[in-house]
Structure 1
Amino acid sequence: MTPSRIAERRRQSVWTGWRLTLIALGFLVFLAVVFVVYIRSADAEYRGEERAAAAKAKQEAGLTGIDKVSKHVWDDSIWVVEGKDAAGTAWFVWLREDGAVKEKASDGYGEDSIRSRFNAEHPGKKIVRLLPGWFSGQPAWELRYTDDPGTKRQAIVFYSFKDGSQLRTYNLVS
């Protein structure tokens, strides 16, 4: 056989640049889909509990609209639902194992009031998190802040929802 006949009989490679690009793109799409499915399945239980808490607050407390749902874990794990009734009145509902506690938002200290009070009492301290919760048998606000920015040491202070009084402070050791 002469070299020219060998060149004529030689077949083109299956792995051309265009096919390799398509395979690589297909693999990247596959990885993206697997990642999204994994994230959704990992978050599904929490989101299910959140939807159940919102439905329970609507049923037990008569809320028609839900503004915010948050989970608070301290001594007990509870859900706090913020929403409005048919008249447009804002309410907080604490869903506990032994029942729901419903309070008008206007009857208690709001998030902005607690922030203002904390900033007045602790100037220069950075608030990390502020959320409604349950502490010492009553509705409360849990405020986590950095105690000393240089060391990143944090502390948690609880304020009463009803009157805004400070209930307890915990210093967290890092």
Structure 2
Amino acid sequence: MNLSRSESFRRMPRISWLRWIIVIFGFIVFLLVSLALYIRSADSDYRHEERRAVAIAKQQGELTDIDSADLHTWQEKVWIVTGDDAQGETWMIWERQSELLKLKVSENVSKTRMINKFAESHAGEQPNRILPGWFQGAPAWEIRYWSETGNHHEAIDFYSFKDGTKLKTYELPTQRS
């Protein structure tokens, strides 16, 4: 049985270039939105904890202007919030599970003073990272650096926040490729 003449001349509908461009553009927008939502949800727990730490610093620590909020994890998880009070004094607040510790930066070792002290004791070495932290039950500065002396390695020094004395050095194993 033969098809009718009109059926034999029918073509399959074709998608025009304009429609292909619209479909591809729509797919790319879908991928970008999906990626943005994934990234936002992946870091939402961290951002929630950070907002909570800032809120506690403002309410209980009486800070009016927040400069930074850093999470330090070594022996325990501690949020350190730096900011100014109503009088313009700069404070650091260590938020632990069991307590809240508030110290005036001007009465302790500031980040700038700690960098200068590190430069004096480690000639020619530059810190990769300096963070306020919590070490051996007290506020501390954590300085990570690359040591060029002896066998080249990465190291972490802990210094007391109150007077800048060196507490401990950890030498990290080098990774060979």
Task: Provide TM-score, normalisation by structure 2.
Answer: 0.88
2:148 matched to 1:148?
A: yes
**Per-residue deviation at 1:39?**
0.2
Q: State the Cα deviation string for residues 12-70 of structure 1 (Å, max 9, x = none).
A: 74311111011001000000000000000000000000000011111111111111000
**Per-residue deviation at 1:10?**
4.8
Q: State the Cα deviation string for residues 129-170 of structure 1 (Å, max 9, x = none).
A: 100001111111000001139x76210001111111111111
* Structure 2 spans left out of the alignment, 5+ residues: none
More helix by share: 1
**Per-residue deviation at 1:126?**
2.9
Helix, strand or coil: the match of 2:22? helix
Helix, strand or coil: the match of 1:113? helix
1:92-103 maps to which residues of 2 (within 5 A)? 92-103=92-103
Helix, strand or coil: the match of 2:119? helix
Residue 37 (structure 1) aligns with: 37
Residue 47 (structure 2) aligns with: 47
Residue 126 (structure 2) aligns with: 126
Residue 110 (structure 2) aligns with: 110
Helix, strand or coil: the match of 2:43? helix
CA distance in 2, matches of 1:140, 1:127: 16
| Paired residues, number | 168
Helix, strand or coil: the match of 1:61? coil
Q: Give the AA of the match of 1:161.
A: F
Residue 90 (structure 1) aligns with: 90
Name segments (4+ residues, structure 1) moved above 6 Å: none
* Structure 1 spans left out of the alignment, 5+ residues: none
Residue 63 (structure 1) aligns with: 63
Task: Provide TM-score, normalisation by structure 1.
Answer: 0.90
1:8-19 maps to which residues of 2 (within 5 A)? 10-11=10-11, 13-19=13-19
Residue 73 (structure 2) aligns with: 73
Helix, strand or coil: the match of 1:23? helix
